[in-house]
Chains A and B, each alone.
Chain A
């Protein structure tokens, strides 16, 4: 079969909603897109452990401490599923980590913002996980089978995280004036970066069109962003918190919340590495990896010795 026929057959499968599996033929560009997207997603889970990790030692109660640890551990687990999904495309975790550590691969820019207060643990769960879920629910139906299946597992845990975050804020707004101010401050700082998580607007998005055709993505950035705003505004109202957007208003005709302009200069600035935490996050990951090298080497050496001894005992 020539290249043209293979591509036609591939697109036909996608159009018929048949999942693409690891051993199936796929265009090189599809493979590259998936590796880029899945690895970015995996890196985001792993780098995303850091801002919340900043509060593990200071969590205000034993119950919260355990819940936060469990949440961050879930994220590490999601990182593992996703690295495994990427590996089905013939790339190793080491290669992917190397790309992260050398700055070639990206991760979600939201994690370059600092977690400054306990209520940020609430805001991250509610808004950041909430925005991520919008994307991930869509990705459960993505055309690449291993990625789709990883997403189905991940979504179950993410919605639990979002509720947990919201519940942290609910406790705060029912508490003292100081606690309520803390919650409002978190919303002020995390709202716009959360809207930016959906990526550039459709007109500016370089990867969108092809990804939609391949059903890697199934909804555009702007559609997902609007769905997030529509879902989140009533939740903020229930908390009695004010969304930091003077232009926010309900449009009766469209049935959507209209929101003000996003500061795309800030977005690109952080994407390009100039956010307050970019260097710190990357350094933390690189340090963990480099300082762990002797441990990983020891595990490999020990396993080889053990194997060699077994070979001697049972020829």
Chain B
């Protein structure tokens, strides 16, 4: 570990990288199969933004670690138990409503959270957040507009959007529940606590659901585990694809 860097900061940066890569990868799965060409392009755009952010975080993590690992080593050579993304982002694409529900719940957290990073005493986090916050602003605009269109569109789209929201609902809170590495950084003043964004996050979700004429799910269940490396069954399959080349042909340049 780089002398001045804390292991918690390294873990946190990896966590952010994994969130972005896993969600970016999922959106990339839509490429060529979107419901209309314009939205195929939009999802690829968001995928590219998130993969770009993931690369910045992985590069920063590699630098903090100081062991000569690269962004690709971190993305391609860690097992599913070592991935610490929140469960929400690894959920399968499902139909377009599921993709939108997952994206919206992520964006509603991501944007205010990035804004708090802009004030972090850590320069590396500030730099990445400075770039990512512009992108996340667009992502939230896109996903919330689609929640409105689908929720307040046709009878079928409303039903599908409601089902998708209900299914994703129990995964949303994990993002706001600090993992041990986050709690240490909160205590050290490197990260803001979840109470700083909770209100804005709740408001965004509630307002959008209301305007979309949807119903707020009343499911009290909360699923967590991603941040400590205990995932859904879906992540392993994703990593089998994602890491295939690096695992099949170790140590080569591509």
Contacts and interface: CB of A to CB of B under 8 A. Distances in A.
Interface of A: 46, 49-50, 53, 56-66, 69-70, 72-73, 76-77, 79-80, 83, 118, 168, 171-172, 174-176, 178-179, 284, 287-288, 291-299, 301-302, 305
Contact of B28 (A57, A61, A287): A57
Contact of A302 (B41, B71, B153, B245): B153
Contact of A62 (B36, B37, B72, B149): B72
A76 B48 contact: no
Contacts of B39: 295
Contact of A76 (B21, B40, B47): B40
Interface in B69-105: 71-72, 75-76, 95-96
Secondary structure of the B contact surface, majority rule: helix
Contacts of A292: 34-36, 96
Interface residues of B, number: 49
Contacts of B174: none
Contact of B154 (A46, A50, A175, A294): A294
Contacts of A83: 37
A66 to B, nearest CB: 5
A49 B31 contact: yes
B157 A294 contact: yes
A46 B76 CA distance: 30
B172 interface: no
B157 A295 contact: yes
B54 to A, nearest CB: 7
Contact of B51 (A69, A287, A293): A69
B218 interface: no
A69 B47 contact: yes
Contacts of B58: 62
Contacts of B55: 62-63, 66
Nearest to A80: B37
Nearest to A62: B55
B219 interface: no
A172 B44 CA distance: 27
A254 to B, nearest CB: 39
B156 A62 contact: no
A221 to B, nearest CB: 28
Contact of B48 (A49, A73, A298, A305): A73
